[in-house]
Amino acid sequence: MWAVSTLTMLALAGILPDFRLRSADGSSATDIAVTAALGAGAFGLLSALVWPLLVRLLLLVPALVLGVLVFFLNGALLWVALRLNPVERGSAAPETAVVVAAVMSAVASATGGALAVRDDDAYRRRLYRLADRRRRSGPPCPATPGTVFVQLDGVGHDVLLAAVDKGLMPTVARWLGTGGDRPTHRLTPWRTDWSSQTGASQLGILHGSNFDVPAFRWYEKARREVMVCNRPTSAAELQARAIEHSGHAGLLAKDGASRGNLFGGGADEQALVLSIAARRRGPAARSRAGYFAYFSDPANAVRTALSFGAEVGREIGQSVRARIRAQRPRVSRGGLYPLVRAFATVVERDVVTAAVMGDVLAGRSAVYADLVAYDEVAHHSGPASRDTEQVLRRLDRALALVENVAEHAPRPYRIVVLSDHGQSPGETFRSRYGLTLADLVRAGCGLPVSRRARRTHSGAEARAAVRAALRRPVEEGAEHYRPTRGSEPVVLASGNLGLVSFPDVPHRMTKEEIDARHPALLPTLANHPGIGFLLVRSERHGGVVLGAYGAEIPLDELDDNPGPLAPFGPGAADVVRRTHTFPHTADIMVNSFHDPADGEVLAFEEQIGSHGGLGGAQSRPFLLSPLVLSAPVPEGTELTGAEQVHHVLRRWLAEADESDTRPLPDHRERAA
């Protein structure tokens, strides 16, 4: 590697005019070669010894800034290496030093990998060395199998099968035996709860309870607070509630590791976990250490930074192409979104995958990691777009990398891949009707709405419904019936699920109370063509589902008469009834229209691939498990709800603890 780095430095000195390995008055070829060799050696030593200390300081920097600083700090190390040369000091312009350092780090990484791959024993020694310190500091590694759970966020069951058929995911195809290989895994679909989003699903999977999580975001009247699943303080509160409700710490309580998740799952080792990110000390520091473990290698830092920049450019190009072609549906992809996408599809993927590799080499019993790349891109590009196909290819490569590393682990490993929900396509509610759900709710309450919303057909219909319900005319811009500001509704959106709460009423309002206060609101919502059904509490029936043309079905009669729930398929009544029992269910739960023919829904957020409610592929994720594990559910039985998935995963961990401890014949069989 030293020799290759020396040759690289010599080549760059010949190519770049601002990078010299000799003084202006000339020098012998021998001195130039010695200068290059000593400079390359010094740069390698500084990268190994000083770079980890710099990364410790980088942990204080926002992640999106990290990619830029990587280049400048790497260039600074090269400049120092040239100044330390005792034979003859080279020189480089600052911008040239950045380029030279990046190229040398990339070449060194490729050279080290190539040399190790050629020798299986050397490759194995290299992998073991990465986790040797962890292994020495921990207890002896048992011979029973460990389990790696990899969550492909947002990848639906049908999307996975389509990707396999198109050849986008060869690793998954090999596991399923679609190319003639002997299958090693089984694919099982499962059905989410009404709240088909990562917060509810992952909380149920990791902690065994997602009770009282009605949506991705909701208003809690007692706390006067909006809870949001991906807010650190909310995630910590939800995790504490789940632990109290389930009575145990979580799926990963026994020698587990949680990587890139919203919740910890009871793991001792946590990195990039949101529920501990709100703490300034202790576990929060361990969470940020996931970045340190990855970026302590300057080659990793440079490679990820380059990929980050390439992904930003790729997103900008794809967005421009979509606008030029006038693709529909389409949402805005400007602002900071290219940076957010690059972070999710490059930085988060690389760091989490590296953390999982370290856990496997350290011999941890259970690892759960979330790769969010597909979900982020599908929201803005659509679940079945060309953009998401590229992401699926890279996710498959990450699975292959974990599988390859598992072959060299100190214990056998079983790799389970699953998703927390799918995504349903469709244009947004706003783009189809010209107003938001909040506009429609305000119009139905007789409250002023924006001028843009008043001019839409839906806004005009809502105002007409208000006038009819009040049995008197309502003046434009000066309504006779205008509640005080404290009684104005809080309207929140979670994909195609909307929640309407009245903060001045301390309890969950009934249909009768809502009708008394806002006579036109429920009819306006229920009869709107973009809305599928409503759930409200009823003094007479306990709970009712409302639909168009005056449909009003009590919850206990939905099995015989699903009414407006019919287009949403089997199981819809069960999840609606369960949500009705939650203490923090909103006064009005609103689910968008769903077209069973094409699976489309109408998102109340600005997303053309959405999830969070009922309708389409969002409610149908997958579970891909090794055949050596017991079947998730008996044949002919449906796997339903995140809490049931949790029990299946716990059963598999128990099976691993009780399995035969004799070594398997070879690494490939062990990995399978």
- As given in the structure block, the two tokens for residue 461 are 């219909």
User: Shortest CA distance to 365 belongs to which of 141, 203, 152?
Assistant: 141
Q: What is the pLDDT of residue 368?
A: 98
Q: What was the pLDDT predicted at 24?
A: 47
Of 472, 467, 463, 470, nearest to 440 (Cα)?
A: 463
Q: Is pLDDT above 60 for 583?
A: yes
CA distances from 334 to 327, 340, 344, 552 (A): 16, 11, 16, 43
Exposed, middle or buried: residue 533 (CB in 10 Å: 0-12, 13-18, 19+)?
buried
DSSP single-letter state for residue 19:
E
CATH architecture of the domain covering 145-424+618-671 = 3-Layer(aba) Sandwich (3.40)
| pLDDT of 617 over the 90 cut | yes
Give the orientation angle of helix 348-362 with respect to helix 386-406, to 10 degrees.
20
Residue 642 and residue 204 in contact, taking contact as beta carbons nearer than 8 Å: yes
pLDDT score of 274 more than 50: yes
pLDDT in tens, 108-148: 656 655 554 444 455 445 555 655 655 565 567 788 999 99
Cα–Cα distance measured from residue 225 to residue 219, given in angstroms and rounded to the nearest whole number: 6
> What are the tens digits of pLDDT across the range 42-94?
777 777 777 666 666 665 555 545 555 555 666 666 666 666 665 555 556 66
Residue 456's alpha-carbon distances to 201, 548, 617, in angstroms, are 37, 20, 30
Q: CA 168, CA 180: separation in Å to the nearest integer?
A: 17
Q: Considering only 206-220, 472-486, 585-599, which range has the smallest mean pLDDT? A: 472-486
pLDDT of residue 152: 98
Q: How far apart are the first and last CA of the chain?
A: 34
* Res. 630: pLDDT tops 50: yes
| The pLDDT value given to residue 613 | 98
- The pLDDT of residue 473 is above 80: no
Cβ 570 vs Cβ 609: under 8 Å: no
Output the pLDDT for position 84.
64
Q: How sure is the predictor about 672, in pLDDT bands with cuts at 50, 70 and 90?
A: very low
Q: What are phi and psi of 645, to 5 degrees?
A: -60, -40
Residue with tokens 């012998």: 28
User: Which tokens go with 155?
Assistant: 């990848």
Domain boundaries, the chain: 2-118, 145-424+618-671, 429-607
**pLDDT band at residue 207 using 50, 70 and 90 as cut-offs:** very high
Please give the pLDDT value at position 362.
86
CA-to-CA distance for 320 and 333, rounded, in angstroms?
9
CA 172 from chain centre, in angstroms, equals: 20
How do residues 531-570 score in pLDDT, each as one tens digit? 999 999 999 999 999 999 999 999 999 999 999 999 999 9
Would you place residue 381 in the very low, low, confident or very high pLDDT band (cuts 50, 70, 90)? very high
C-alpha span between 605 and 437 (Å, rounded) = 9
Q: What percent of the chain has pLDDT over 90?
A: 58
- Candidate from 29-43, 220-234, 329-343 with smallest mean pLDDT: 29-43
Q: What Rg do the C-alpha atoms of the chain give, in angstroms?
A: 28
What's the pTM?
0.82
The mean of the pLDDT values for the chain is 83
Q: Which residue has the higher pLDDT, 485 or 42?
A: 42
pLDDT band at 662 (very low <50, low <70, confident <90, very high): very low
Q: How confident is the model at residue 668 (pLDDT cuts 50, 70, 90)?
A: very low
Question: Does the pLDDT of residue 345 top 60, yes or no?
Answer: yes
Give 256's strand partners.
Answer: 366
As a whole number, mean pLDDT of residues 367-390 equals 96
Q: Which residues pair with 186 in a beta bridge?
A: 625
In degrees and rounded to multiples of 5, residue 425 shows phi and psi of -80, 170
* Cα–Cα distance, 347 to 260 (Å, whole number): 11
DSSP letter at 540? Answer: T
